[in-house]
Structure 1
Amino acid sequence: MLNRRALLTGGAAALACAGVGGVAAATRPDGARRASLLAATQEVVDIPAHTPGTPLPLPLVIVNHTYRYANREIWFYVVGTDLGTGRQVYARADGSVAEVALGADSGGIAIPLVADGDTVAAIPTGMSGRIYVSIGARLDFRIVADGAGRPALQYPAGWVRDAPGHAVLHDFVEFTHNAAGMFCNTTMVDMFSVPLLLRLHGDGDQTTGQVVPGGRDAIFAALRANPAFAPLVTGDVRVIAPGHGIEAGLFPATYYDPYIDAVWSRYASGGLTVDAAGRRVTGRVAGGALTFDGGVAPFRRPSTRDVFFCDGALAAPNDGVTGPVAAVLGAGFNRSTLLTGAAQPAGDPGTYYRDAVTNHYARVLHEHTDNGRAYGFAFDDVAAQASYIEDHTPSQLTLVLTPF
């Protein structure tokens, strides 16, 4: 699986297409809608035709259970990186891969849903990236040169007010599909807009990401009721994460300062024990930095932005030593558990988000998912709280646009 931070920081500023046009609501069926959400996903589909001699793609089924938008108003996009070449690519409906090229037309990236029923497509093997969905208008994935002059896709950025397509209703999930299996998650790390559910068939039958009935409205309402977080709600289109809110001037950049100061004060006089990656290390604040034993790099005092992005002073290198400790610290700050116990990570979700200064965006998201699991910040997978599933012999991935 791509490191969550790589997905957060790996792309250029993203651009999308123009705003949503008029849409006609689809008919909502009577009866218990939750019971019907997965009714069309029980059967594992046949693999679409693909090029002989290439690795077998994984069947992907897109199910429109919004009950307010017709299939003709919805598109999806499979974009990411070819794990063999490192080049940016997009997948066609049959699972074949096209490399992005400067000057090329990117119009073929958008795949419309079939006129009626479920849409059957495929995900290539050896690809890591995202599956986007947009409603009412297509997203514009422009092809630009990256810092090294190589062709790269500009991904949509719903949290950037001036970006084309800011008004387009869209969301995405993340995946890595390789010889070891399928690894995937829904995500709200950047924003929350369309409630999405993933179902993965293979060794087992797993689902993740389901928002409870009425949960989208409840999430929007709960954040609107919090004065600091209310500006993060963009009409009825999306809620953006507080880190992006800081960048947009919508959220106080010093929000976490009192809590950070309290943590730094406490561990100047006592040790903080962290269990991560099979190791236990102890740290103490000295000379303004939180310094651990065991070869862990010291952590300088983080900013509010560092906390929400789990970056900057809390950056987590992929080294198996400092990185895992940084992930636990990032989770402890976002969940506000660093003052409730000197042994981290805190394993009881009932102790999370209890301080007045906490990541209420993540709290509200977790409160309105079926099993309490969500990806509300970059290291929400600490203590297995993320909406993540994997299978080593996958046979089908189903992405459901659930009612809202």
Structure 2
Amino acid sequence: MINRRRFLTGLGGAAVAAGAGGALLANPPRGGAAAATPASGPGARADTLPVSIVNETGRFSDGEVLVYILGTNIDTEEQCRVTADGEMVPVSESDNTDGGYTDYSIPLPADGSPLALPRPMSGRIYFALGDKLRLKVVTDGNGRPALQTPAGHVESDPNYGVLYDTFEFTHKDDGMFCNSSMVDQFSVPIAIDLRGAREQSTGLLVDGGRDAIFEAAAADPDLSPLIVGDRMRLIAPSHGLDQGLFPEDYYAPYIDEVWAHYEQNTISVTTNEGVFSGRVEGGRFVFDGGVTPFDKPSTRDVLFCDGALAAPNDGLNGPVAAILGAGFNRSTLLSHDQQPTTDAADFYRTDISNHYSRILHANTVDGKAYGFAFDDVAGFASYIEDPAPVSVTVTLTPF
């Protein structure tokens, strides 16, 4: 299964800080496809998937919506953009022609034609409303071209004042895997409809959901500093912590309670590989079955699902780390000694919890959202996949 932890391995997980705050995509970006021929139409290329972009913002005209398709060619590991005809083209420093930045933008086709998403590719589709994104190609530590992408949580980033959001995907021979992620920020509400072996949808907010999210955040003293501008975006607590906008010791009391509790009690974690029992011994969470012990995490580790809670794609340590990370974010580790917890009614019930994620989930129609990187544990992420995709529709829903 390709989940966001795989996305992060190919994209953000290996990204490094770049200049004023943008990240270098770990793999090739693609720049965009305009009125490309759908894969199912006459003369269509079998390696592309039609992606329709629907503008229902009610605030921006189609002419004010710019699309950027950026990511990595899975075969070559080059960072690429997608051109207007659906071709993956490696990024190059020579593309920095627009005032020192690239112009990989694709206007929405006036006739409503779908864009063409090639394969094999993993990346993001960026949507910028009312302004261009300022993207720059630089040289990474290995001497290869790499794209600096927006960091909406960094005030010095050239895209800080641009209203934008993203759709994440991996499109390859065995299917389409995609999500509407809010792990970094919440800004433009995005709904996804994926059709193929079956019809699936996710990401749709309840009526008035965007306003409700910002109102709930504004009423929370820990989250209110994360609101940028006049409800332009809500920064995730993880990035807010790094910017000094969220308490760096927020989770410390809860982490201490969990550690003390499991010095005296046993937790059971169920993964596809079996059931693993663990206790805190010598200051580390020690599990049976060959699982590597976990150091005591920090607040930052919990919010980023990284550091002491990093989850390698090894089938053993990774799933246990992910379940622990989800338990911390959903604050279920003290109330349930059998993990993962699968009843959403038990999530976020303590004062110390990922209330950013709670607010997002509370305002989606299907109750699913990607509020943190391990939100796919037990199937609560706004993530869908299909082994035989026919089309994808991404809707920018009403503000």
What is the TM-score normalised by the length of structure 1?
Answer: 0.89
- Mapped to 1, the partners of 2:320 and 2:368 lie a distance apart of 21
Q: Deviations over 1:239-278 (max 9, x none)?
A: 0110101100000000000000000000001111100123
1:5-404 alignment, distance < 5 Å: 5-6=8-9, 7-13=11-17, 46-47=38-39, 55-105=46-96, 107-115=102-110, 118-235=112-229, 236-404=231-399
Q: Secondary structure at the match of 2:238?
A: helix
**Contact residue 48 and residue 94 of structure 1 kept, 8 A:** no
**Aligned 8 A contact 2:40 2:46 in 1:** no
CA drift at 1:16:
9.6
Which residue identity lines up with residue 79 of structure 1 in the other structure? Answer: L
1:86 and 1:8 map into 2 onto residues whose CA distance is 14
Q: What secondary structure is seen at the aligned counterpart in 2 of 1:313?
A: helix
CA contact (8 A) 1:160 1:166 kept: yes
- 3-state SS of 1:239 partner: strand
Distance change in 2, residues 1:221/1:119 (3 Å)? farther
- Counterpart code for 2:287: F
Q: What RMSD in Å do the two structures reach over aligned CA positions?
A: 2.0
Letter in 1 for 2:66: W
- 1:38 counterpart residue number: none
Q: 2:61, 2:20 → 1: CA distance?
A: 21
Residues 104/10 of structure 1: CA separation in 2 closer, same or farther (3 Å cut): same
**Cα distance in 1, alignment partners of residues 226 and 125 from structure 2:** 24
| Contact 2:166 2:180 survives alignment (8 Å) | yes
Instruction: Return the alpha-carbon distance in structure 2 between the equivalents of residues 281 and 81 of structure 1.
Output: 36
**C-alpha distance in 2, partners of 1:132/1:361?**
22
- Contact conserved, 1:14 with 1:163, CA < 8 A, in 2? no
Contact map agreement 2:7 2:170 (CA 8 A) in 1 = no
In 1, Cα distance between equivalents of 2:177 and 2:162 = 27
Could you tell me how far apart the structure 1 residues matched to 2:15 and 2:148 are?
Answer: 7
The DSSP-based 3-state class of the residue aligned with 1:81 is strand
For residues 128 and 63 of structure 1, the distance between their equivalents in structure 2, rounded to whole angstroms, comes to 22
Deviates more, 1:101-110 or 1:350-359: 101-110
CA contact (8 A) 2:328 2:353 kept: yes
Q: Partners in 1 of 2:113 and 2:329 — Cα distance?
A: 38
Displacement after TM superposition at 1:331 (Å): 0.1
**Equivalents in 1 of 2:42, 2:302: separation in Å?**
44
1: CA distance between counterparts of 2:8 and 2:385? 19
Question: What is the TM-score when the length of structure 2 is the normalising length?
Answer: 0.90
Verify the 8 A CA contact 2:238 2:300 in the aligned structure 1: yes
Percent identical among aligned pairs is: 50
Contact (CA 8 Å) 2:7, 2:123: kept in 1 or not? no
- Greater Cα offset, 204-213 or 335-344: 204-213
Q: Deviations over 1:191-210 (max 9, x none)?
A: 00000011111111111111
Residue 300 of structure 1: SS of its match in structure 2? Answer: coil
List structure 1 runs of 4+ shifted beyond 4 angstroms. Answer: 14-17, 48-52
Contact 2:103-2:135 at 8 Å conserved across structures: no
Number of residue-to-residue matches in the alignment: 375
